[in-house]
Amino acid sequence: MIEAPALRRLLVVDPCDDCHRLLPGLRAVGWDVDSCTLEHAGDRSCDVGLLRLQPFHLERPEAVKELISRSGTEWIAVLNQEVLRLQNVGDFVCEWFFDFHTLPFDVSRVQVTLGRAFGMARLRGQGTIHVDQPEHELLGDSKPIRELRKLLSKLAPTESPVLIRGESGTGKELVARTLHRQSQRHAKPFVAINCGAIPEHLIQSELFGHEKGAFTGAHQRKVGRIEAANGGTLFLDEIGDLPLELQANLLRFLQEKHIERVGGSQPIPVDVRVLAATHVDLEAAIEKKRFREDLYYRLNVLQVVTAPLRERHGDLSMLANHFSHFYSHETGRRPRSFSEDALIAMGKHDWPGNVRELANRVRRGLVLAEGRQIEARDLGLMSQQSIATPMGTLEDYKTRAERQALCDVLNRHSDNLSVAAKVLGVSRPTFYRLLHKHQIR
């Protein structure tokens, strides 16, 4: 017995008479058709959308852009001769729609286009990440990110200080915010201060506050960051850049749990949980007498290490798609997928700036992309990079090639390990053995 094809949901927005005449034929070939006005389209879900473009849509395009961006599917524009004559209609349709049809309809062509749009929407949906809750901001499914989420869930309920270590751009502040959000202090303030971004002569006032008249220009009392975080969490980013004099003051606060404003003499009790982050080697700084050893031990009660992007195998394409959607609202352009050339270039890049660099390159790619996909050149990456490696034994080359093959296939097929194994031409047990051998996932 042959099963009937599964229903595919088509939403027709602001339909015209030609659209209504088209619908019975589409229902006959398996489309589940619904129609509504643009005003109510955001409340409907669909696999493919058909929108009759009218002059007022082009005069106020924000509603159309919002609908297409939020729906996460492909849309086809329907245009009559009046709309075709409008200025910039071509650019608008090419930017925001999968395809277009002019009236009257060519029914066979419409059916083919809808089928292609449905297939593209399914492909696009596989790489799309919907971040509805802030708890899901630590995106990824690689072994390092799974272990990080598990560790944070254990550390968050405690009151102990946490030292967050990792390279620049690996999300240390995001880790701090996650610890605060999952803690008992989540309803109280989260106050962050970058110790390396404030002029040295202002840091004491920023941290501890000052009284009126404490120094020239102090025209009124100022509450410092530590006091502002009372009851909540204080995040000290780039703690390694804190001057030695301020390190002593911070240590005194951690020991005594109270502060004194600059120019004041009254101790002020403050209850905060302190989180600190650094990308520098604090142990080496201690040896060079640039960081106090006693402060180090006060801050390093619990420790979190954020993994660089190059070690988060399988997360690259997921994060790139997330940033494509996230920054599409800022750039005013439709979210774009990445060409195969771009995916290969991203896989070969070392990402010294980690996730922050990826976010910035995708942001740039959205602005520069001229086609329907973001290309390697839009990201500022070479499409055919040849990365020189030092000479080694034949076994070294084989090991590097084996590991690179595993990383490349995981970047493309992390959601389906059976497919990944088939792409490499090995059995699934062999694939798992190789992952274990190279300590991946």
Two structure tokens written together for 345: 């270039």
Lowest-pLDDT choice from 71-80, 166-175, 224-233, 409-418: 409-418
In 139-250, which ranges are E strands?
162-165, 190-194, 233-237
Would the pLDDT of 3 be above 50? no
299-355: pLDDT as tens digits = 999 999 999 999 998 899 889 988 998 888 777 777 888 988 898 899 889 999 999
- Asked if 114 and 26 touch (Cβ cutoff 8 Å), the reply is yes
Q: 260 or 182: which carries more pLDDT confidence?
A: 182
Would the pLDDT of 136 be above 70? no
Distance in angstroms (rounded) separating the CA atoms of residues 360 and 376 = 14
- Asked if 80 and 73 touch (Cβ cutoff 8 Å), the reply is no
Contacts of 17 (CB under 8 A, 6+ apart): none
Percent of the chain having pLDDT more than 70?
91
* Residue for token pair 């106020």: 60
What is the reported pLDDT for 441?
Answer: 62
Work out the pLDDT band at 125, boundaries 50, 70, 90.
low
- Asked if 34 and 1 touch (Cβ cutoff 8 Å), the reply is no
260: phi then psi, degrees, rounded to nearest 5: -130, 130
Beta-strand pair 258-259/99-102:
unpaired
What is the reported pLDDT for 388?
Answer: 44
What is the reported pLDDT for 412?
Answer: 72
Distance in angstroms (rounded) separating the CA atoms of residues 383 and 373 = 14
Start-to-end C-alpha separation, the chain:
43
Give domain 8-126's CATH architecture: 3-Layer(aba) Sandwich (3.40)
Pick the CATH number of 310-379 from 1.10.8.60, 3.30.300.30, 2.60.120.20, 3.20.20.140: 1.10.8.60
Distance in angstroms (rounded) separating the CA atoms of residues 4 and 31 = 12
Work out the pLDDT band at 175, boundaries 50, 70, 90.
very high
Would the pLDDT of 72 be above 60? yes
What is the reported pLDDT for 328?
Answer: 83
Residue type, 150: K
CATH topology of domain 143-306: Rossmann fold (3.40.50)
- Which residues sit opposite 278 in a β-bridge? 165
3-class DSSP state of 317: helix
203-237: pLDDT as tens digits = 888 888 878 766 766 677 788 888 999 999 999 99
Q: What's the rounded mean pLDDT across residues 159-169? A: 94
Distance in angstroms (rounded) separating the CA atoms of residues 25 and 110 = 11
Distance in angstroms (rounded) separating the CA atoms of residues 402 and 315 = 19
Residues in the chain: 441
What is the reported pLDDT for 384?
Answer: 56
Would the pLDDT of 115 be above 60? yes
What is the reported pLDDT for 332?
Answer: 75
Q: Is 105 left (phi over 0), alpha (psi -120 to 50) or beta?
A: beta
Work out the pLDDT band at 287, boundaries 50, 70, 90.
very high
Measure CA 183 to chain center: 23
Q: What's the rounded mean pLDDT across residues 104-118? A: 86
Nearest Cα residue to 69 out of 256, 335, 380:
335
What is the reported pLDDT for 309?
Answer: 94
Distance in angstroms (rounded) separating the CA atoms of residues 309 and 286 = 28
What is the reported pLDDT for 149?
Answer: 92
Q: What's the rounded mean pLDDT across residues 405-430? A: 78
In order, the DSSP letters of 387-429 are: -------HHHHHHHHHHHHHHHHHHHHTT-HHHHHHHHT--HH
Distance in angstroms (rounded) separating the CA atoms of residues 212 and 262 = 9
- Asked if 266 and 260 touch (Cβ cutoff 8 Å), the reply is yes
What is this structure's pTM? Answer: 0.62
Would the pLDDT of 189 be above 60? yes
Q: Tell me the range of 33-37, 70-74, 148-152 where mean pLDDT is highest.
A: 148-152
In order, the DSSP letters of 354-368 are: HHHHHHHHHHHHHHH
Q: 162 or 102: which carries more pLDDT confidence?
A: 162
Q: What letter does residue 130 receive in the DSSP assignment?
A: -
Q: How far is CA 25 from CA 53, 213, 384, in A?
A: 22, 81, 47
What is the reported pLDDT for 432?
Answer: 78
Nearest Cα residue to 183 out of 146, 228, 152, 139:
152
